Amino acid sequence: MSDINVHSGIRKGLAWSAINAFVLRLGTVGVGIFLARLLSPEQFGVFAIALTVQAVLMTLADFGLSTDLIRSPDYARKAPTVATLGIVTGTSLTVIMVISAQGTAQLLGSPEAGPVIAVMSGTLFLAGCGVVPYAKLQRNFMQKQLFAISLADFVIGTIVTVLLILGGWGVMALAISRVVAQCVTLILQFVLAREKPHFGLDRSLVSQVLAFGIPVAGANMLSWVLLNADNVVVSRLAGPTALGFYFLAFNISSWPMNAIGQIVRSVSLPAFARVGISQKRVLSDAMAPTWAITLFAGLMLGLLAAPVIELVYGQKWLAAVPILAVLGIFGALRTIFDLGAAFLLANGRSTIVLVVQAAWLGCLVPFLIVGTIRGGTVGAAVAHLLCATLVVLPGYCWALSHAGVRLRPLWAAFWPPLAAAAPTAVATILATSIVSNPLTRLMVGGCVGCFIYGACIGHWLRRRLVVAGNLGTGQNSVHVDASTPSINTSIVEGGV
């Protein structure tokens, strides 16, 4: 694909990904509000356990196969072999999950989750069947089609969930809706990708596919274990009700990652694979606007946690406020970690991603145990943030440096938003301290935060967005000087 076609694909992919993320995020938030007002914190905790098990195993159902197809120049030859391997892994994991469902639920401190886990196991088989069409859609920047699939998944899943909950099915409604929606997703993937099921097994390719896929699957599984280890620890040490509050706060903190991160993630892997590591500043170009926007979103979620939760979810969920106040920044950090991992995977560095994820997990688990014992759910949130800043961030810097990426441009993209966050936080706290009404606090805090943050780095961010928009065109040589980024330093240094 030529540079012009790559650039066009990236821009169209970003546009449709933005629409996808915005529309579906609004819809998901709306459904989440509806469910939170119907279900108790304890029921939320039970579903969190089932979702934790499914999410971890779902990464293995793909087994890194779609990632290999997305980046491979030999797509047509590999596809039948990958399809066969996807069926094998999906079927195996489904059987394992069904057999171990009740034992796993008891081990995680929530026996009520056993039947829910068993039902959700069907999604693993369906995910394994859809590896090839999904990879084709991602590889060809077919974000319009992916949006249609995601929208259908959301609509069908929501309708089934609401009908079953109103019919008295409780938490089981969420599991059944996921299986039904996944069936619809699988059918649409094949139809919109114009891909027919085609199986085969080229033994000369199996070792090559697995050599790349196993580290990717391991890294992905570790990533999901990392993001769900807290659910296990909190459930075991604090119980399902406390987990319900924690689960809600973590989901809210994930809004930047799920919305903005989805936009970036959907095109970053194929874009980085096409552009290649030869354009050494491509990662910093992509990271600058991503970090600036997600940091602001995470910061405001943390600062305005109380009015957001009270207005949106109701007073019964106010125990989640201090948890969200800590997890807001962690949600922003996850986005740039995901971007760094995508860059490394696109350049064939799957093993080094696995190393970073393993180090993350090795440090996080003891942090979580100590944090939960000493500080409950808030302690678990603090453990996440400390591990991310003290272990994971340096780990990805080391991995990227080892892959030939210069760290100075990354630092130039990282520090201006961080510097702007300080006066933004001070101004928002002062502004919200003089009002008591939740809606007024939310509006005043949001307006003040937007104004101060925009005044600090608005010009810098606009220039960075222009540079990021030229990704893949060969025009990335025009940059803001890394040593003198265009930021209103008088506001940053002078405070409010």
Tens-place pLDDT, residues 421-430: 999 999 999 9
* Residue that has been written with the tokens 């596809």 in this structure: 79
- The CA distances from residue 256 to 66, 96, 245, 275, 482, in Å, are 24, 33, 19, 26, 26
Q: How confident is the model at residue 450 (pLDDT cuts 50, 70, 90)?
A: very high
Q: What is the pLDDT of residue 448?
A: 94
Tell me the HSE value of 417 on the side-chain side, using a 13 A CA sphere.
Answer: 25
**Which pLDDT does position 201 carry in this prediction?**
84
pLDDT by residue (tens digit) across 30-71? Answer: 667 777 777 778 777 777 777 777 666 666 666 777 777 777
Tell whether the model's pLDDT for residue 83 goes beyond 50: yes
pLDDT, position 54: 67
Rounded average pLDDT over 188-199: 87
Tell me which of 285 and 14 has the higher pLDDT: 285
* Res 3: pLDDT: 46
Tell me the pLDDT band of 261, cut-offs 50, 70 and 90. Answer: low
pLDDT at residue 265, as a whole number: 56
pLDDT band at 447 (very low <50, low <70, confident <90, very high): very high
Mean pLDDT over 363-380 rounds to: 93
Selected residue with higher pLDDT from 123 and 491: 123
Residue 476: the pLDDT is 42
Res 59: pLDDT:
64
**First CA to last CA across the chain, in angstroms?**
49
The predicted pLDDT at position 280 comes to: 54
Q: How far apart are CA 87 and CA 215, in angstroms?
A: 19
Read off the tokens for 337.
Answer: 């970690």
Q: Which of 199, 244, 219 is nearest to 109 (CA)?
A: 244
Question: What pLDDT was estimated at residue 389?
Answer: 92
Q: How far apart are CA 216 and CA 195, in angstroms?
A: 24
Q: What is the mean pLDDT of the chain?
A: 79
**pLDDT attached to residue 404:** 81
Amino acid at 187: I
Considering only residues 262 and 481, tell me which one the structure prediction assigns the higher pLDDT: 262
Across the range 320-340, mean pLDDT stands at 89
CA gap 192, 342 in Å, rounded: 25
71 or 1, which is more confident: 71
pTM metric for this prediction? 0.67
For residue 484, the model assigns a pLDDT of 31
pLDDT over threshold 50, residue 483:
no
Given a cut of 80, whether residue 8 has pLDDT beyond it is no
Supply the pLDDT for residue 370: 94
> Distance (Å, rounded) from C-alpha 196 to C-alpha 180?
21
Residue 493: pLDDT above 50?
no
- Is pLDDT at 492 greater than 50 in this prediction? no
pLDDT band for position 381 (50/70/90)? very high
Q: Answer for the pair 425, 456: CB distance below 8 angstroms, yes or no.
A: no
> Where does the pLDDT of residue 278 fall: very low under 50, low under 70, confident under 90, or very high at 90 and above?
very low
pLDDT at 270: 54
What would the mean pLDDT of 233-252 be, rounded to a whole number? 86
**CA distances, 270 to each of 70, 152, 462 (Å):** 6, 24, 25
Provide the pLDDT for residue 272: 60
Task: Check pLDDT > 70 for residue 298.
Answer: yes
Residue with tokens 């050494």: 280
Average pLDDT score over residue span 348-377: 88
Q: Which of 152-156, 223-227, 268-272, 492-496 has the highest mean pLDDT?
A: 152-156
- DSSP for 189-244? HHHHHT--------HHHHHHHHHHHHHHHHHHHHHHHHHHHHHHHHHHHH-HHHHH
pLDDT at 390: 94
pLDDT band at 277 (very low <50, low <70, confident <90, very high): very low
How far is the C-alpha of 494 from the C-alpha of 419, rounded, in Å? Answer: 11
Q: What is the mean pLDDT of residues 430-441?
A: 91
Per-residue confidence (pLDDT) for residue 408, from 0 to 100: 87
Residue 496 scores a pLDDT above 60: no
Residue 449 · residue 300 · CB < 8 Å? yes
